[in-house]
Structure 1
Amino acid sequence: MAVLSRLIQAPAAVRIGPGVAAELPGILADQRISASGRLAVAISEGSGTQLREQLAGDLPADVGWFTVSRASLDAAVDLADRVRADKAPYDTLVAIGGGKVIDAAKYAAARLGMPLVAVATNLAHDGVCSPVATLENDAGTGSYGVPNPIGVVIDLDLIRQAPPRFVRSGIGEALSNLCALADWELSHRETGEPIDGLAAAMARTAAEAILHHPGTIDDAGFLGVLANGLVLSGQAMAVAGTSRPSSGACHEISHAIDQLFPKQAAQHGEQCGVGAVFATHLRGEHALAAEMAAVLTRHELPVTPGDLGLDIDQFADAVTYAPHTRPGRFTILEHLDLSRSRIDDAVKGYVATYAR
């Protein structure tokens, strides 16, 4: 009997746990990752200085350090240009920081044709192990396909040093997979879009682990579950070859908020969490929506537009505009194709249900 299988792009090394940043030199010495040991390291302009002092002793003395100012297309291109212009022949790019640094470095590494090792210092979203770089551009924010990181290191001791809001944001991001998967199933039924069952299983495992875990971000066990879940969520996108397993109406709404109200935009995961509960409520899955809202509330995350600093009209504007952020993607928003008056009613009903 023939054995059927497929090749999956995955990191050569994944390390999650307390103190694992100390293992970074050994990971980077793996010749599958860095053949020459010549490393370019990207850090943020702010907290990156402290991280450099904290980790420099564990890295080779001839490491090249490069700062990243923001998660923008221009900043990512600039990073690539500076690494290329340096006289040192680097063969691996290491990104140490939050999502902004890692996303800019992912794009820069792709531009340079280098492998990337992502060392996460917060758990704000699932980009640490995804084949997508989310970057600001002249039109707002865009998602760019890039190779998956070849190595992922999440030191839970470093994670504990991050502002709690940046860690909680990852909870909303992981939980929103439930909305994304429901939208994918809906598209499969209505449009015939194929579903990758393995990718869906990975994304669902990540979400349900958070949905049912009784711990908080103060618990090492919960942090480990969240970190593993975000890695699984990002890897699900690599398996599927699309962001579908982790991005549905929830992300459309978040991107719409970013574009329409950039000065009021909250953390990506915070907005995705609210968008996911709203879309689940809109779908008529009220028991699941209530369960998701309870998890967000327990972790001190936003649940209603007001919690995000938006009024009802602003959130309705975002829901109305949301389908334009991902043309061609079919979610509950495209399926219902509600008029503005019905969207207004839906948002009011949602707020009335979940206002604290």
Structure 2
Amino acid sequence: MELPNRILVGYDVIHELGNFLKDLGLGQKVLIISGANVKDLVGKIVGESLSSFGISCLWHLVNSATVDHVKRAVDVAKSQQVKAIIGLGGGKSVDVAKLSAYYASLPLIAVPTSASHDGIASPFASIKGLEKPFSMVAKPPIGILADITLIANAPKRLLASGCGDLIAKITAVKDWELARDEKGEYFRKYAGSLALLSANLVIEESEEIGRGGKDSVRDVVEALISAGVAAGIAGSSRPCSGSEHLFSHALDILAPNTGLHGERCGIGTIMMAKLHGLPWEKIALSLRNVHAPTTARELGINPDLIVDAILLAPRVRPERYTILHKLGLDRKSIVDIVKSVGVI
């Protein structure tokens, strides 16, 4: 079990990055994996903060989370003998940093600039170009610095996506319990409870989150970090990823780059909650409150692909037992379910 040694969440704390690294015993030289826009936005602040504590930095800019970017980042890290890797930016930058740190055997610091999914603290990364269409084991961060001022200024759609990824824990944990009861799979009660705590916070505070106040942004960021920690405690993504995530992965195969990860998971949660006999109406209302999509039309996808994705989902990870594996739904049954919850 690897968990963060230090977490700093606050306003304008990006200025404290140098001191944050010093407190973790990370100095001399670091590799920052980021995007071009983020570097333009905070590169000067980050550079000055690091240099004030005698830390030099190299930048590796990415525009996608691909194997190629990971390989190049690892080469730079090794050839330049950096002492740590910083993932600065959105999900793509942090995921590339996590896998790069894993392959380079270096400590990782996560500095998210958006709250679009729960990968901030988890030991898993989603990288394009691998054999698996889902997350793989990577390096969890030993430190997380989350500047709420930066994150609150990111596009609101990203925050709504993060809320969708959090609400998804409701069906993920239910699927995990199902696998425990019917397949004898191990189950970590604390990890499951921690994931559900994050999901329930979003549901209970969805109206306030939808209004966009900075304190609500902070709540979502902390919930995303907690969900990632739950995965670290469990030693797997089980408390965070179930049938709703399999639906999202299947949709990514059938219609690549359609919708954000959390948006797809949110819609998946509505449908999987219906299958589990959970109050799907409350889930759909919460997603609408935070301005996340709840229909195929809002997601910008053909309704038939929703049905196709549910059919494909159990085959994405045959070994991960979920409600979809249990029920083995045919196309007509899926259409009836999807229509009944208003997704199509």
Q: Which TM-score band (shorter chain)? A: over 0.9
Question: In the alignment, what sits opposite 1:191?
Answer: 183
Whether the 8 Å contact between 1:136 and 1:142 is mirrored in structure 2 is: no
Q: Aligned ranges for residues 23-102 of structure 1 at < 5 Å?
A: 23-30=16-23, 32-34=24-26, 36-60=27-51, 62-86=56-80, 89-102=81-94
Question: In the alignment, what sits opposite 1:4?
Answer: none
1:108 aligns with 2:86: no
Report the residue type matching 1:224 in the other structure: R
CA distance in 1, matches of 2:310, 2:204: 28
Question: In the alignment, what sits opposite 1:3?
Answer: none
1:326 aligns with 2:317: yes
1:115-168 deviation per Cα after TM superposition (whole angstroms, max 9, x unaligned): 000000000001010000101115573422013101001100010221111111
Question: In the alignment, what sits opposite 1:343?
Answer: 334
Question: In the alignment, what sits opposite 2:307?
Answer: 316
Question: In the alignment, what sits opposite 2:163?
Answer: 171
Report the residue type matching 2:215 in the other structure: G
Report the residue type matching 2:79 in the other structure: A
Question: In the alignment, what sits opposite 1:5?
Answer: none
Which secondary structure state, in structure 2, belongs to the residue aligned with residue 245 of structure 1?
coil
Which secondary structure state, in structure 1, belongs to the residue aligned with residue 37 of structure 2?
coil
Question: In the alignment, what sits opposite 2:288?
Answer: 297
Report the residue type matching 1:41 in the other structure: I
Which secondary structure state, in structure 1, belongs to the residue aligned with residue 86 of structure 2?
strand
Whether the 8 Å contact between 1:202 and 1:232 is mirrored in structure 2 is: yes
TM-score (normalised: structure 2): 0.94
1:128 aligns with 2:116: no
Whether the 8 Å contact between 1:73 and 1:136 is mirrored in structure 2 is: yes
Whether the 8 Å contact between 1:68 and 1:79 is mirrored in structure 2 is: no
Following superposition, the deviation at residue 194 of structure 1 comes to 1.7
Which secondary structure state, in structure 2, belongs to the residue aligned with residue 10 of structure 1?
coil
Report which stretch shifted further, 322-331 or 245-254: 322-331
Whether the 8 Å contact between 1:312 and 1:348 is mirrored in structure 2 is: no
Structure 1 residues 161 and 127: CA distance shift in structure 2, 3 A: same
1:284-343 deviation per Cα after TM superposition (whole angstroms, max 9, x unaligned): 22xx21111101111111112222112321100000001122220011111101112222
1:162 aligns with 2:168: no
CA distance in 1, matches of 2:45, 2:286: 34
CA distance in 1, matches of 2:186, 2:96: 31
Give the unaligned 5+ runs of structure 2: none
Report the residue type matching 2:226 in the other structure: L
Give the unaligned 5+ runs of structure 1: 1-7
Structure 1 residues 137 and 202: CA distance shift in structure 2, 3 A: same
1:281 aligns with 2:274: yes
1:251-310 deviation per Cα after TM superposition (whole angstroms, max 9, x unaligned): 0000011110115x100000000001110012222xx21111101111111112222112
Question: In the alignment, what sits opposite 1:200?
Answer: 192
Whether the 8 Å contact between 1:33 and 1:150 is mirrored in structure 2 is: no
CA distance in 1, matches of 2:59, 2:201: 37
Whether the 8 Å contact between 1:312 and 1:347 is mirrored in structure 2 is: no
CA distance in 1, matches of 2:215, 2:67: 36
Question: In the alignment, what sits opposite 1:236?
Answer: 230
Whether the 8 Å contact between 2:243 and 2:323 is mirrored in structure 1 is: yes
Which secondary structure state, in structure 2, belongs to the residue aligned with residue 117 of structure 1?
strand
CA distance in 2, matches of 1:124, 1:81: 28
Report the residue type matching 1:114 in the other structure: L
TM-score (normalised: structure 1): 0.91
CA distance in 2, matches of 1:46, 1:222: 25
CA distance in 2, matches of 1:10, 1:318: 34
Q: Percent identity?
A: 31
CA distance in 1, matches of 2:25, 2:31: 13
1:252 aligns with 2:246: yes
CA distance in 1, matches of 2:41, 2:302: 38
1:2-38 deviation per Cα after TM superposition (whole angstroms, max 9, x unaligned): xxxxxx42111101121121221111002x441x432
